[in-house]
Amino acid sequence: MVRETLPVMETEWFQPFTEQPIALLSEEGEWIGDFPLDLDETLLRQLYRDMLAVRLMDERFTVLLRTGKISFTAPMAGHEAAQVGVAHALRRGHDWAFPYYRDYGLALALGVPLVEIFGQMIGTRADPNKGRQMPCHPSSRPLNIFAAASTVASHIPPATGAALSMKIQGTGQVAVCTFGDGATSEGDWYAAINFAAVQRVPAVFVCENNRYAISVPYSCQTATRTIAEKAHAFGIPGYHVDGMDVLASYYVSREAIERARAGHGPSLVELVVYRYGAHSSADDDSRYRPREEVELWRQRDPLVRYQRFLARHGLWSEEWERQLREEIAREQAEAIEAAERAGEVPAEWMFDDVYAEPLWHLERQRALLRAELQ
Amino acid sequence: MATLTMVQAIARTLAEEMSRDERVVVLGEDVGKRGGVFLATEGLLERFGPDRVIDTPLSEAAIIGAAVGMAAHGLRPVAEIQFADYIFPGFDQLATQAAKLRYRSGGQFTAPMVVRMPSGGGVRGGHHHSQSPEAHFAHTAGLKVVVVSTPYDAKGLLKAAIRDDDPVVFLEPKRLYRATREEVPDDDYVVPIGKAAVRREGTDLTIIGYGTSMPEVLKAGDELAKAGISAEILDLRSLVPWDIEAVMRSVAKTGRVVLVADAPRLSGVLGEIAATIAEELFDQMLAPPVRVAGFDTPYPYAQDKLYLPTVTRILNAAKQVLEY
């Protein structure tokens, strides 16, 4: 196995362990970065389109839930800038993403077809994962999106392993692993990042810190002021970032990803966000969060802030917004229809993919079910 | 052809597989310079370098979890857990990630990996160096489970496990690592997963065993022969999938069966096999199946030898089915 010679990073714009979260946009949408913005208009607009699509998709999920088409949803509203920023920072289809269950925004921005997303949510044949998981579990082999698991933090050691394989094989890829603030209390989180740091693997660990693990607030989760400073324990940089600023999410993630790609090892990126909705459709957040707090964060909405930025640069208009909303609504409605049209997952698929080849005990059970259904 | 102990056969096999396929890597605690605490990875670091023989931090979760990611990304990792008793911090990774990756992704992602662990008692290791936790793995859909008992099988089954496209838990009875030597062919042979071995042919009763207890099972067979009783002895070798054909063929012939293993009796693998025999061969049985298992205590230190199924206990069980 050959290890490819990797370039040294030329520019590092961001300092780790800042007191204040790194932001590149003011609340009014002014660029406050101290380096030149180097993104073209197409990408600047795409970031907005993706965020809007995530917001509208989140609303769709709630509608599907209320109409009884899905059993569960994990609201993403408030996380759009973080997820879309990270997704655009990695090389789509080349780098690997290790998402958690609130990351359909990440999956959408990475290019998972809507019909696959809704197919997975509803559990139809349109789901390349064959209806095996409850809603909100992204997975796509062609896009290198590792199948999400419900068990908090369990995907983080595999991210380290994939990154170690990338290093050993010299593929020039990076593994980007996302998780919530609750995950940082799991032993697997520590074990995985520690191993990644020791081996200097090309990985970036991204915390979407929305301040709550279901009902447990940040103050009951950890005594550290930030998640980013936990990186000190691993000997890697930790970046404390305003995750409701899509450009900050994008640029910091991009720098961390390219550092990793260049052989400088992993980083921890904390994107401070807020979950507008409850933890999931099975949760009632009014029992633990004052409405005023939710309202306060909603006023810092990532879409509104970024819209102001685009407007300042003549990249947003009410007409464009109206068109986008129509387009996205139509695409999503069509995708839901196509996902449903694909039909139910056959009962016998239950027995496939447990192993590469069928084992006798499973084949007997398949026959038993077949007989029962006839 | 070399005469090897089981642990030597394992070390050689790892080297052979690493030479054959550069995707095969070894990771675990002390697998590098130390060559593994039992020397199962001896000489690999010198030969294959630190990219392929990886000393990990002391974290079973990191070892198993990283192996899942490495496997999903295209390598063929062989993870060593220093003692099977230490699997529990890594059990979540095994059960949540390794076992379910193929299934939950609809076959898009897979985890072709081997987790080797020294298991079983008889070495005065107390309860954290002596357990046989195979039932936990056998109860987890998506894992294959192998328990070897001879140097020859250790080579052939380890090759099969490394080449398998699914995660395989590979249990190595530590008590047998250096207990015997056996001629192990130099050629590239594979013992298929899921096939039992007939260790002795017989007609009066079947004794089914595996792993740590095989020496006692064979000794019991000798004792029975001296008394003129013909025991057929099966070594299961694989627990998932287990060899239902070999088991049913033998028990249909003898009509009597004793099942032996050192793992705790309650909810153990032997119970599953005994129940299946009863379901399928009830009308051909001359006696109910009888199990000789480990006791349902934590593995003791002072009573190390008494905990394991003894020859006497196996002979008593044989008597019970013969005199039923």
Q: Is A96:A146 a contact under the CB 8 Å cutoff? A: yes
The answer to whether the CB atoms of A359 and B194 lie below 8 A apart is yes
Judged by DSSP in three states, B79 sits in: strand
Shortest distance, CA A89 to any CA of chain B (angstroms) = 21
Pairing of strands B182-184, B168-173: unpaired
Shortest distance, CA B139 to any CA of chain A (angstroms) = 13
Pairing of strands B182-184, B2-4: antiparallel
Q: Is A139 on the interface with B (CB under 8 A)?
A: yes
Q: What is the rounded CA–CA span in Å between residue B308 and residue B306?
A: 6
The residue assigned the tokens 């993919």 is: A353
Kindly list the residues from chain A whose CB atom is less than 8 angstroms away from the CB atom of residue B22.
Answer: 1
Q: Is A208 on the interface with B (CB under 8 A)?
A: no
For the CA atoms of chain A, what is the radius of gyration?
A: 21
Q: Is A116 on the interface with B (CB under 8 A)?
A: no
Judged by DSSP in three states, A264 sits in: coil
Q: Is A187 on the interface with B (CB under 8 A)?
A: yes
Tokens of B155: 């080579």
Of B73, B129, B136, B139, which residue is the catalytic one? B129
Tokens of A53: 């699509």
Half-sphere exposure of B252 (CA within 13 A, CB side): 10
Q: Which domains does chain B have, with CATH numbers?
A: 2-184 (3.40.50.970), 197-322 (3.40.50.920)
Q: Is A353 on the interface with B (CB under 8 A)?
A: yes
Known active-site residue B139: no
Shortest distance, CA B69 to any CA of chain A (angstroms) = 4
Closest residue in A to B273 (Cα) is A361
Q: Which domains does chain A have, with CATH numbers?
A: 41-343 (3.40.50.970), 347-374 (no CATH)
Q: Is B24:B33 a contact under the CB 8 Å cutoff? A: no
Closest residue in A to B68 (Cα) is A158
Task: Please provide the distance, in angstroms rounded to a whole number, between the alpha carbons at the two ends of chain A.
Answer: 53
ipTM more than 0.85?
A: yes
Q: What is the rounded CA–CA span in Å between residue A228 and residue A213?
A: 17
Closest residue in A to B167 (Cα) is A355
Give Cα A358 distance to the centre of its chain.
34
Of A55, A60, A88, A275, which residue is the catalytic one? A275
Identity of the residue numbered A144: N
What does the pLDDT read at residue B193? 98
User: How far, CA to CA in Å, does A332 sit from each of A47, A55, A222, B107?
Assistant: 18, 12, 39, 26
Half-sphere exposure of A124 (CA within 13 A, CB side): 19
From first to last of its 374 residues, chain A has per-residue pLDDT tens of: 344 444 455 678 999 999 999 999 999 999 999 999 999 999 999 999 999 999 999 999 999 999 999 999 999 999 999 999 999 999 999 999 999 999 999 999 999 999 999 999 999 999 999 999 999 999 999 999 999 999 999 999 999 999 999 999 999 999 999 999 999 999 999 999 999 999 999 999 999 999 999 999 999 999 999 999 999 999 999 999 999 999 999 999 999 999 999 999 999 999 999 999 999 989 999 999 999 999 999 999 999 999 999 999 999 999 999 999 999 999 999 999 999 999 999 999 999 999 999 999 999 999 999 999 99
Helix (H) or strand (E) holding B235: strand B231-235
Q: Is A98:B97 a contact under the CB 8 Å cutoff? A: no
Tokens of A55: 């917001």
Q: Is A92:A364 a contact under the CB 8 Å cutoff? A: no
Q: What is the rounded CA–CA span in Å between residue B74 and residue B68?
A: 10
The residue assigned the tokens 């299961």 is: B236
Task: Report DSSP state, residue B261.
Answer: E
Q: What is the rounded CA–CA span in Å between residue A204 and residue A85?
A: 14
The residue assigned the tokens 């990644």 is: A196
Shortest distance, CA A46 to any CA of chain B (angstroms) = 28
A361: nearest CB among B92, B101, B241? B241
Of A45, A200, A288, A325, which residue is the catalytic one? A288
pLDDT digits (tens, 9 = 90+) for B123-167: 999 999 999 999 999 999 999 999 999 999 999 999 999 999 999
The answer to whether the CB atoms of B103 and A356 lie below 8 A apart is no
Residues in CB range of B170: below 8 A, 6 or more apart = B114, B115, B116, B117, B146, B148, B157, B158, B161
